[in-house]
Amino acid sequence: MFTDKPTLTGERVILRPVTVDDVPGLAAMLDDPEGRQLTGTHATFTSEQLYAWYATRGGEPDRLDLAVVDRATGGYAGEVVLNDLDEDNLCCGFRISLGPAARGRGLGTEATRLTLGYAFGIGLHRVELEVYAFNPRAQAVYEKVGFVREGVRRDALRWDGGWVDAVTMAALATEWR
């Protein structure tokens, strides 16, 4: 279902297939402590691992990895991903991560809206995600673009010695606006 790797253009962002040229931006994003917390990322990655990862994204038919490009600067701002494809149920997961310079500027909202529009346009019925309870800013963005809170996975993430809930949300094609 994700064999086509589109480029999606909005007013503030361009979403295009990731390439190995995006690895420096990905590495900087993964080095950001706030971004690591917001995404619950404990792992560390070598440059070789990041290059190997982005080099293989274009050939994956069950996921879509797109770079978020800031139209104002032309630079890599982050990534959006549709993954965990369930073709039988026309469902997939969604995740987004933005670097520090891209946060709070509406880039994530537009990137999320463009990605949902694409997902529903190719026939998916449901797009789902998890967001950690300590990220109310992201929860508000998701609700603004059409995700609905469905539940809570209690104590789903261990962070800084404490436990954090994960909020589950989904958007449906039948409710997409």
Contacts 24+ apart (CB under 8 A), 83-92: 85/1, 85/2, 87/1, 89/125, 89/126, 90/123, 90/124, 90/125, 90/126, 91/124, 91/125, 91/126, 91/127, 91/128, 92/63, 92/119, 92/124, 92/126, 92/127, 92/128
pLDDT digits (tens, 9 = 90+) for 108-155: 999 999 999 999 999 999 999 999 999 999 999 999 999 999 999 999
pTM given for the model: 0.93
Residue 35: per-residue pLDDT: 85
Share of the chain above pLDDT 70, in %: 99
pLDDT digits (tens, 9 = 90+) for 25-56: 988 988 888 888 888 888 888 999 988 888 88
What is the chain's mean pLDDT, rounded?
Answer: 94
